[in-house]
Structure formats: structure tokens, C-alpha cells
Amino acid sequence: MTNTVWTLVQHSGVKSDPKFRFGVEEAAVTRAGDVDKIRKAGGLLFDNYADAASAAFNENYRPGGKGLYPRVRGSFSTLRIGHRDLYIPVKGEPTGGIIDMEGEPR
């Protein structure tokens, strides 16, 4: 893999505080084979960190959400990226206008 791509995974804060179990954060995809696995699982891919970070924020803190702890609407896959579960957004819901690597709106 020549360029780093990014995805969303379960928030690492869950290790110290279970209230983060419904939160996501960006993670670098460092193995080329993981890109196809992420696509097949329904995960998101970003070609830069800034877009991934923006999407993580938008997923964690949706309009109308309450409280300080993140609460995503999607689910987590058993596919692990960087020792954390891959985030799968709700199909058809926008993720802050982010575009995946195929150029398709998510």
C-alpha cells in the first residue's frame, strides 16, 4: 500500500471507560488486504485523516444527541482493524457528507 487510508473503529476509550462503547474514532488502514475487507463489511474508507476525523465527530455527536459521551447509530463488525472493531454506519444515512474511496457518497 503506497497511500495511507483511514476508517472508523470503536473508540479506544472503551478500554478505560465503558461509556465509550458506542463511540468511534479514526484508524489508519495499514494493510492493503484490509481495504477490500472493510468495503465488503460495509465500513467507511477515507483518503485523508481530516475527513475521517470529521466523520467520526459527526457519527459520535449527531444533532439532537444528549450528553458528553458519544453515541453512534451504526454497529460494530467482528472485523478488527488495529485491534478494534470496525464501525458499520446505518445504510442510507449520511456521515457528514464524507465520500468513500470509490467516490460514492456515504
Is 27 within 8 Å of 6 (Cβ atoms)? yes
In a domain, 32, yes or no: yes
In a domain, 106, yes or no: no
Q: Which domain holds residue 48?
A: 5-88
Indicate the length of the chain as a whole number: 106
The Cα 100–Cα 104 span in angstroms is 6
In a domain, 97, yes or no: no
Report how many domains make up the chain: 1
User: What is the residue-level pLDDT of the chain in tens, covering all 106 positions?
Assistant: 668 999 999 999 999 999 999 999 999 998 989 999 999 999 999 999 999 999 999 999 988 888 889 999 999 999 999 999 999 999 887 664 444 545 454 4
Q: Is 42 left (phi over 0), alpha (psi -120 to 50) or beta?
A: left
